């Protein structure tokens, strides 16, 4: 397996200290080598879910690479001395890969509805001429039956996809990738969270200045308060408190 970018731990989760160019180059090297792995664009929500749920922790630690999707995670990496850390935002990673390698066959697993998935496909084809979308599936909001799972595995493998973009939300997509990784032939599974909704135009993205200043969560909360308020109310304060403890330990080691 090609060596991933350098990583550093935030609350026990190793995150890439990298940039888009290096991560996309690693993805292409995985495809070229026919190695099988999975990548997650980790937000604060995922890091904190992994702190509480052993299954999520196993899924995140099982990833070949986790990149810091949230700006607070980038700030945390830099505070620990990783000055070159940059945000690897799931939607932009997906767009960057599609732009640089449109001929690479991809499969789209996710979407709110089959109609939303079809809208995503049409918008990606319009934005990235020549993009090779090998297939797609919008799973129901429940666990697949054994027969449905077997059918999906067969469809993805038969499509010839080399990258499976997974947009079912965190941590659901990480649990799915961890479970499916041994069963799928595609070299890469890539979890990109809300990227499907953003690229389909179903949910607007926060303005760049809010993203740069770590305020994207306030924008998303204002757009989808019923779905997101519990996540942010619980995990944001917990992340601040637990990272403060990690930072204090880091300072003590540095002065010792």
User: What's residue 207's pLDDT?
Assistant: 77
188 touches 180 (CB < 8 A): no
Structure tokens at 212: 């740069």
Q: What is the DSSP letter of 204?
A: P
User: What's residue 229's pLDDT?
Assistant: 54
> What mean pLDDT is reported for the chain?
92
User: What's residue 237's pLDDT?
Assistant: 86
User: What's residue 217's pLDDT?
Assistant: 65
For residue range 122-145, list pLDDT tens digits in order: 999 999 999 999 999 999 988 889
DSSP-based three-state secondary structure for 251:
helix
More confident residue, 67 or 212: 67
For residue range 138-187, list pLDDT tens digits in order: 999 888 899 999 999 999 999 999 999 999 999 999 999 999 999 999 99
- Determine whether 63 is exposed, middle or buried from the number of CB atoms within 10 Å of its CB (0-12, 13-18, 19+): buried
Using pLDDT thresholds of 50, 70 and 90, give the confidence band for residue 216: confident
Quote the pTM value. 0.90
51 touches 175 (CB < 8 A): no
User: What's residue 219's pLDDT?
Assistant: 63
Is residue 251 scored above 80 in pLDDT? yes
Let me know how many helices (H) and strands (E) the chain has, helices first.
12, 8
Using pLDDT thresholds of 50, 70 and 90, give the confidence band for residue 199: very high
Q: Which sequence spans correspond to the domains of the chain?
A: 7-255
């Amino acid at each position: 397996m090609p060596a991933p970018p350098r990583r550093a731990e935030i609350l026990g989760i190793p995150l890439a200290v990298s940039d888009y160019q290096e991560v996309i180059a690693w993805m292409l090297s995985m495809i070229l080598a026919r190695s099988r792995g999975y990548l997650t664009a980790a937000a604060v929500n995922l890091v904190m879910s992994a702190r509480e749920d052993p299954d999520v922790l196993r899924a995140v630690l099982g990833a070949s690479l986790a990149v810091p999707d949230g700006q607070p995670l980038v700030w945390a990496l830099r505070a620990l001395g990783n000055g070159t850390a940059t945000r690897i935002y799931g939607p932009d990673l997906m767009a960057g890969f599609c732009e640089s390698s449109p001929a690479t066959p991809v499969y789209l697993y996710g979407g709110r509805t089959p109609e939303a998935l079809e809208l995503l496909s049409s918008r990606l084809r319009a934005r990235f001429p020549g993009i090779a979308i090998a297939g797609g599936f919008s799973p129901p909001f429940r666990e697949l039956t054994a027969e449905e799972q077997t059918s999906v595995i067969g469809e993805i493998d038969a499509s010839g996809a080399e990258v499976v973009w997974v947009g079912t939300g965190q941590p659901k997509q990480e649990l799915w990738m961890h479970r499916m990784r041994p069963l799928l032939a595609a070299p890469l599974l890539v979890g990109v969270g809300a990227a499907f909704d953003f690229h389909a135009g179903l949910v607007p993205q926060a303005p760049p200045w809010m993203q740069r200043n770590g305020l994207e969560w306030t924008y998303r909360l204002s757009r989808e308060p019923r779905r997101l308020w519990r996540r942010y109310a619980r995990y944001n304060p917990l992340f601040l408190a637990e990272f403060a403890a990690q930072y204090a330990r880091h300072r003590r080691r540095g002065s010792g």
